[in-house]
Amino acid sequence: MTGVRELRLVVTADDYDDALRFYRDVLGLPERAAFSSDGGRVTILDAGRATLEIADPPHAEFIDRVEVGQRVAGRIRVAFEVDDSERATRTLEAAGARVIAEPTRTPWNSLNARLAAPAGLQLTLFTELGGE
């Protein structure tokens, strides 16, 4: 098997225009391509380097407790590394995201916030703090 070259998360959004505005225009994900079909549209946004994080249920619950205080995420949560999670939280909140948990310093030394965002996605915004 040849190596995987890209991880692409495909999200079906009931309000396509709102989701596109939020993720492209507010969060700042650059548009790589856009296509249309008979009555449909898709836009591919560049989210930088992609990783696939696989957690078992106890660890997913641990992350939720650290970031939010209780289990709130479903099977999929999207995490974006940002330069300033506090500023990004305020920006996305002003654009319509609901803050589930304010930025919190984690045991793994990052500042993480949790938001409910368009297209039914739960987001973690995280800033690596460096050092120990």
Question: Sign of the C-alpha dihedral, residues 16, 33, 114, 84?
Answer: negative
132 pLDDT band, cuts 50/70/90, is low
Residue 101 has pLDDT above 80, yes or no: yes
Q: What is the mean pLDDT of residues 39-50?
A: 95
18 residue type, one letter: D
Q: Residue 5: its pLDDT value, please? A: 83
22 residue type, one letter: F
Give the integer Cα–Cα distance in Å for 110 and 61.
Answer: 18
Give the integer Cα–Cα distance in Å for 61 and 126.
Answer: 18
66 pLDDT band, cuts 50/70/90, is very high
Q: Residue 50: its pLDDT value, please? A: 92
Q: Residue 1: its pLDDT value, please? A: 62
